[in-house]
Amino acid sequence: MQKCLSVLVVLLLLGAGCAPRAVAPDQIGASRFGRLVEGAVTESDIKGGWVRPHPGPFWWDQIEIEQDVYDWSEADRVVTYWQERDQALLATLWPFAQWDQARCHSNESTVKHPFGDEQVWLRNVCHNESFDEWVNAVVERYDGDGADDMPGLRYGITHWEIGNEPDLQTSELSFFQSGPSAYAEVYRLAYAQIKQADPDATLLFGGMAAMHQFGRAFWEEVFTSERERVEVFNIHSLGASDQFYAKEYHEFLVQNGFLQPSFWITEALVGSRFFQWDEQQKARMTLVGYAQAFANGAARVFDVGRHDPSGGPGDLAEQTFARVVELMDGFEKAEWIGQNSLIKFTFSDRVIFVAWDGVKLPLSVSGRVQTVRYDGVRKQMDAREVRADEPMFVIVP
């Protein structure tokens, strides 16, 4: 008892607290799943998972409120909040400061702020050195190297996303007003400063807004100039594709000469361009959609869910997503078996199939297995008796 009290005193003095953490430091960010957060979504229950605050606090003139005047309070608050919950941050760097934009765009048109009502410029950077200094300061504060870090930083931010959907430029919504060459320059500037501050950091392009033709043309030009600096590709799918565009995006990248592309889907919302799905169908397609996305090459997928202004696909789909994370996270390999409706997930200690559309298991699978339907119904049965009349997991010990 005396020894336990002594250990407790030491822990308290060190500020470690009494309860053990749910996730070891080296497991934070190991998950293949993340969530879009902020607004209505302020929690994420994915163990060691990712969060993508949207829009997040890393907007240039929200931190550098005027030239050389920094306010870190909101960014520090957001980082602290998610680190207390053992979540890895995918941080979006927004390359816009109105005091900088006015330097060279004052005679050009503005757009409605994508997250507000005011009119703003969202164009290419005017003064490169000012932008360089800001990016370097941000990464230095949150890289976790012990130099100029945020007070109380537990672990570094390792992944930085440069802007958001720069190819989306409509009269209703725009995240970037300049062309692909201007975005490529912003990416190039950010790349140099991020790597200078943290050589081990990883950069993502701003997410491609679906698979429209104008987006393809935009990104093809960006890829041409930034081929040597490509690290992780990025796409969004909001109720538009039953497998979150993973198949089409992978094919698009291969067509552009990236034969083994690493890509994330940082906005995934269950839905269909062609059908009106009810809540049960959205729940079914939550399981099928995530399984297909990984089998088609996605490395990580971020759930939009309740963050969407529509309220998301509903409670049943949310419950199914929780089962997807529980059973699918941590896989080492995802692969199609046959042409359709059967995907094999290989783990270090087991195999799990995702099956649907009445498919049966391969003849090579025998013995007792456990099935878990999309809605949580579980059964123990012989492998030869399994028929996936509803989307399900099949756990092979």
Which residues, other chains included, contact 129 with Cβ-Cβ below 8 Å and sequence gap of 6+? none
The token pair at 91 is 């941080």
Ordered by start, the domain boundaries in the chain are 27-332, 333-397
pLDDT confidence of 391, banded at 50, 70, 90? very high
Give burial (CB, 10 Å; 0-12/13-18/19+) of 261: middle
**DSSP-assigned beta bridge partners for residue 333:** 346
Question: Which CATH number is 27-332's, of 3.20.20.80, 3.90.1110.10, 3.40.640.10, 3.30.70.60?
Answer: 3.20.20.80
Q: Within 13 A of 335's CA, how many CA atoms are on the CB side?
A: 7
Per-residue burial over 64-89, b if 16 or more Cβ lie within 10 Å, else e, is: beeeeeeebeebbebbeebbebbbbb
Q: Give the other-Cβ count within 10 Å of 386's Cβ.
A: 18
Beta strands in 260-304 (DSSP E): 263-269, 298-303
Mean pLDDT of the chain: 93
- What is the widest separation between alpha-carbon atoms in the chain? 74
pLDDT confidence of 23, banded at 50, 70, 90? confident
According to the per-residue pLDDT averaged within each range, which of 17-21, 239-243, 331-335 is highest? Answer: 331-335
Per-residue burial over 349-382, b if 16 or more Cβ lie within 10 Å, else e, is: eebbbbbbeebebeeebeeebebbbbbeeeeeee
Instruction: In whole angstroms, give the CA distance from residue 230 to residue 169.
Output: 23
Q: Which of 123, 133, 153, 129 is closest to 141 using CA atoms?
A: 153
Give pTM, 2 decimals.
0.93
The answer to whether residues 99 and 59 touch, using CB atoms and an 8 Å cutoff, is no
Q: Residues of the chain with pLDDT > 90: what percent?
A: 87
**DSSP-assigned beta bridge partners for residue 371:** 379, 394
Q: What is the mean pLDDT of residues 203-215?
A: 97
What digits encode the pLDDT tens for the residues 171-183?
A: 999 999 999 999 9
pLDDT at 325 over 50: yes
Q: What's the pLDDT at 121?
A: 98
Instruction: In whole angstroms, give the CA distance from residue 275 to residue 204.
Output: 32
The token pair at 29 is 């960010």
The answer to whether residues 167 and 252 touch, using CB atoms and an 8 Å cutoff, is no
pLDDT confidence of 40, banded at 50, 70, 90? low
The token pair at 276 is 């009106």
pLDDT at 13 over 60: no
Strand 233-238 vs strand 263-269: parallel, antiparallel, or unpaired?
parallel
pLDDT at 3 over 70: no
pLDDT at 394 over 90: yes
What digits encode the pLDDT tens for the residues 87-115?
A: 999 999 999 999 999 999 999 999 999 99
